[in-house]
């Protein structure tokens, strides 16, 4: 029994790590592809603040769409399970999270530098997508 339990736990950890690594690669791939493409299209020698802004905005837009899809899935599951409060609680945390991100990224932009005004939200939206995805069965 202990061996079986250890195998289940090991499998879960390995699978979770693999899924996280895959999601992380997709997340950074969107931004990095945009950066590479923009630098090439504009004939720039290197990345600059404008490229960071454009690509961060593009990445954030992608995550926003994905977050809406996940929230829709959570809503459907909540309705199927007759647990409307589950969806209401997630929406409440979403509003609080959004206020936190807005303030935190303003701080980052002000104290780290202007590229953070766009880069920080993209990062935070990517993290939030991962969090919300865990709520979907």
pLDDT value at position 118?
A: 96
Confidence of residue 56 (pLDDT cuts 50, 70, 90): very high
Write the DSSP symbol of residue 46.
S
Q: How does pLDDT run across 85-116, given as a tens digit for each residue?
A: 999 999 999 999 999 999 999 999 999 999 99
pLDDT value at position 25?
A: 54
Query: Looking at the predicted structure, is the pLDDT value of residue 17 above 50?
Result: no
Domain ranges for the chain:
2-135
Question: What's the whole-number mean pLDDT along residues 108-128?
Answer: 97
pLDDT value at position 19?
A: 44
Nearest to 58 by CA among 38, 72, 82, 83: 38
CA distances 21 to 33, 38, 64, 126, Å, are 17, 25, 20, 13
Query: Looking at the predicted structure, is the pLDDT value of residue 32 above 80?
Result: yes
Helix residue spans in 43-115 (DSSP H)? 49-80, 84-111
CA distances 121 to 3, 36, 54, Å, are 44, 20, 13
| Tokens 């029994």 -> residue | 1
Give residue 81's Cα distance to chain centre.
26
Residues whose CB is less than 8 angstroms from the CB of residue 66 and which lie 6 or more positions away in sequence, other chains included: 129
pLDDT value at position 4?
A: 38
pTM, rounded to two decimals: 0.77
Residues whose CB is less than 8 angstroms from the CB of residue 48 and which lie 6 or more positions away in sequence, other chains included: none
């Amino acid at each position: 029994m202990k061996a079986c339990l250890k195998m289940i736990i090991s499998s879960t950890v390995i699978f979770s790590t693999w899924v996280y690594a895959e999601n992380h690669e997709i997340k950074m791939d969107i931004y990095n592809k945009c950066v590479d493409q923009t630098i090439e299209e504009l004939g720039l020698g290197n990345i600059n603040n404008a490229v960071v802004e454009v690509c961060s905005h593009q990445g954030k837009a992608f995550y926003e769409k994905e977050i809406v899809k996940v929230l829709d899935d959570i809503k459907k599951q909540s309705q199927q399970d007759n647990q409307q409060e589950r969806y209401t609680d997630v929406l409440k945390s979403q509003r609080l999270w959004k206020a936190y991100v807005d303030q935190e990224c303003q701080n980052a932009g002000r104290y780290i530098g202007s590229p953070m005004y766009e880069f920080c939200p993209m990062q935070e939206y990517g993290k939030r997508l991962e969090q919300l995805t865990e709520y979907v069965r």
